[in-house]
Structure 1
Amino acid sequence: MKAYILEKNGGVENLKQVQLKDLVATGDQVLIETKAIGINPADVLVRNSDFMLNMITGGNVPEQIILGWDVSGVVKQVGEKVTTFTVGDEVFGLISMPGLGSTYATEVLASEHQLVLKPENIQFSEAGATPMAALTAWQAVVTKANVKSGDRVLVHAASGGVGHFAVQFAKEFGAYVIGTSSAKNEDFVRSLGVDEFLDYTKVPFEEQLEKVDVVIDAINSVEHIQRSIKVIHSGGRLVYLQPHFAEALEASLQEAKVEGFGVFVSSSAENLKEIASLLASVKVNTKVTQTFSFDDLKDAHNVVESGRATGKIVVVTE
């Protein structure tokens, strides 16, 4: 099989395509013939930082590092304990997060408990682009924020991978949704169904809106998240994607009487089944904006690392 190994932390030049031995499924493992791989900001962070690599693996960094967590494909082989899937099934999932999913490969091994069937109405590219971003948004909007009908919800970076799912999930649960982005992405964000669009480059967002019940803040900045706290009603909820910011935010949250939740995405077939159902019913859509070949995976990394990508970036193997 072909795979990309990370020779050392740093730039994309440290991702090297190699030929490795084919994999074999045992126990509860499913062997997937890869069709598509989602590329996420987390992939870039772990590639760049030995601190992030150690954190995500719990310090158990293997000698051979294969990055990647998102995958969709066809079941090629199943272990003797697998009961959920059979050869030929079309599946997708977020593999071994936290840990190393090793999905930057033409074959991927995964526990059957991390996979779900791909809805028939979506392409492999859409399925492969979905798991990490959608599960992060689900665990933020549904699990932590418990968004319900009538809530006023502010979603920052609404044009991004996590943000575009967060908008759709909040709308599905009956919320009034406000999305922030730059003006060039206004049409994209409005296409997601937001009730209000805010151009954060024009006027600071906290000067543009009335207080809200929930903020989903995907921006990697303590200062930005503290600004978000100021626009939340007393008793409201803040969800941010950097759990290690908790200590820095504690005083501001207490003063504002706001609940704060840090989310670090984890693999969950249970959550992904809910998301797959929404994709199957076309109540939620995965917006793939750029597709790259397996040989051009480094270019996909560059796009994600630029911070200017909208929707989802995906790599396909054929």
Structure 2
Amino acid sequence: MRFRPSRPESSAHLAPLSALEPLADMRAAVIDATGAPSNLHLATVPTPTPVLSEVLVRIVAAGVNPIDAKTRAGSGVANGIAAYPATLGFDFSGVVVRAPFEAHPFPAGTEVFGVSNFPRCGGSYAEYAVVPTLSLARKPSSLSHVEAAGVPLAALTAWGLVVETALAHEGQRMLIHAASGGVGHFAVQFAAYFGARVIATSSARNADWLRELGADVVIDHTTEKFEERAGEVDVVIDLVGNTTDDTGTRSLRVLRPGGLLVEVPTGAWPGYADAAAAAGVRATSYKVIPDGGALATIGRLLDSGAVQVYIDSVFDLADAAAAHEQLENGHTRGKLVLQVSED
């Protein structure tokens, strides 16, 4: 079943916020407490009201990310949830319905994609969300809302890892673990775009696809030891940690002296910094920065065809629990997306 917004608004006129009446309640996928995927359910909740520089966005589609599932289960950013029921979700694509002033960069009617301010406020698993202006960019015209919703968090994370932290460049050798996932498939593309030689780990079924995205070497982690094939590398983008086969620890063996380990999953390897120092390499963790300017650059790469987003499956908002179950079962290629309302 597809849902329409409970009260669609015309964008023909935009009155000052102080003169606007509150919107009717909206539908959202919420949790009343942390726990299993079945804790996610549909509810009717108040539509949020933007303040200061925030805009109100009608959500057409919302991306589903590992951080969503971790938060729902009680880790992730669950400690930042101030009250329940809580609406999850970071990624979205939709249409601005209220902006703070008439000459705003994203006036009412603008198609946008970006990152919500969850858990400080309600997330994107809802018909509407309030979003900081600096976390927005115009939706790439070549993408549908479903496709665009799969981009922001994963692509911004990959951009921060590969471009801003690892400084991808010609001649650099970069090992990317879990390369077929949401962040991984963008990381492969960004690294290749900037000239790095990409060595990717994944399952065999994704090997040809990853080569199409720009990977020079794909190592099947189920049958091969990457340290026996990768050779010496300059950078490891570790999207796994030590929770599976000591991937993080083994990665230190392939880094050149002074090389860089970028450790992404929170809590997956608490001792990474000390281990890296003992091995004579540099290390840093990373947290995504919801930078609308960087997202606009990514949008231009998507429109040019230099980068693509892969959507594995699309679920209706009512089936958010099933989306979380699929995500936690692993083996997802690219991204999962919730269809929240009609385009």
Amino acid at match of 2:295: L
Listed as ranges, the matches of 1:6-155 within 5 Å are 6-49=31-74, 51-55=75-79, 57=80, 61-80=82-101, 83-96=104-117, 99-100=120-121, 102-155=123-176
| Structure 2 counterpart SS, 1:276 | helix
Conservation of the 8 A alpha-carbon contact between 2:159 and 2:190: yes
Conservation of the 8 A alpha-carbon contact between 1:7 and 1:65: yes
CA RMSD of aligned residues (A): 1.9
Higher alpha-carbon deviation: 188-197 or 60-69: 60-69
Equivalent residue number for residue 5 of structure 1: 30
1:255 Cα deviation after fit: 2.8
Amino acid at match of 1:40: N
Higher alpha-carbon deviation: 251-260 or 226-235: 251-260
Q: Partners in 2 of 1:45 and 1:210 — Cα distance? A: 33
Amino acid at match of 1:253: A
Listed as ranges, the matches of 1:1-318 within 5 Å are 1-49=26-74, 51-55=75-79, 57=80, 61-80=82-101, 83-96=104-117, 99-100=120-121, 102-221=123-242, 223-242=246-265, 244=267, 248-317=271-340, 318=342
Conservation of the 8 A alpha-carbon contact between 2:94 and 2:145: yes
| Structure 2 counterpart SS, 1:79 | coil
Amino acid at match of 2:50: A
Q: Structure 1 residues 122, 254: CA separation in 2 closer, same or farther (over 3 Å shift)?
A: same
Amino acid at match of 1:133: A
Q: Partners in 1 of 2:162 and 2:121 — Cα distance? A: 25
- Gap runs ≥5 in structure 1: none
Conservation of the 8 A alpha-carbon contact between 1:97 and 1:265: no
**Structure with greater proportional helix content:** 1
Conservation of the 8 A alpha-carbon contact between 1:31 and 1:109: yes
Q: Structure 1 residues 98, 136: CA separation in 2 closer, same or farther (over 3 Å shift)?
A: farther
Cα deviation code 1:4-32 (max 9, x no counterpart)? 12111111221121122333333212111
Q: Structure 1 residues 216, 294: CA separation in 2 closer, same or farther (over 3 Å shift)?
A: same
Q: Partners in 1 of 2:114 and 2:166 — Cα distance? A: 23
Q: Structure 1 residues 48, 246: CA separation in 2 closer, same or farther (over 3 Å shift)?
A: closer
Conservation of the 8 A alpha-carbon contact between 1:53 and 1:61: no
Q: Partners in 2 of 1:238 and 1:180 — Cα distance? A: 15
Q: Structure 1 residues 76, 279: CA separation in 2 closer, same or farther (over 3 Å shift)?
A: same
Conservation of the 8 A alpha-carbon contact between 1:119 and 1:280: yes
1:306 Cα deviation after fit: 0.7
Conservation of the 8 A alpha-carbon contact between 1:24 and 1:77: no
Cα deviation code 1:100-154 (max 9, x no counterpart)? 5511101111111111001111111111111111111111111211121110111
Conservation of the 8 A alpha-carbon contact between 1:67 and 1:100: no
Amino acid at match of 1:26: V
1:249 Cα deviation after fit: 1.8
Cα deviation code 1:285-310 (max 9, x no counterpart)? 11112111222222111111111211
Q: Partners in 2 of 1:99 and 1:137 — Cα distance? A: 23
Q: Structure 1 residues 12, 47: CA separation in 2 closer, same or farther (over 3 Å shift)?
A: same
Amino acid at match of 2:36: G
Q: Structure 1 residues 245, 198: CA separation in 2 closer, same or farther (over 3 Å shift)?
A: closer
Amino acid at match of 1:125: V
Identity in percent: 37
Conservation of the 8 A alpha-carbon contact between 2:260 and 2:281: yes
1:199 Cα deviation after fit: 0.7
TM-score by length of 2: 0.86
Q: How many residues of Structure 1 are paired with residues of Structure 2 in the alignment?
A: 314
Q: Partners in 2 of 1:286 and 1:127 — Cα distance? A: 8
1:244 Cα deviation after fit: 4.8
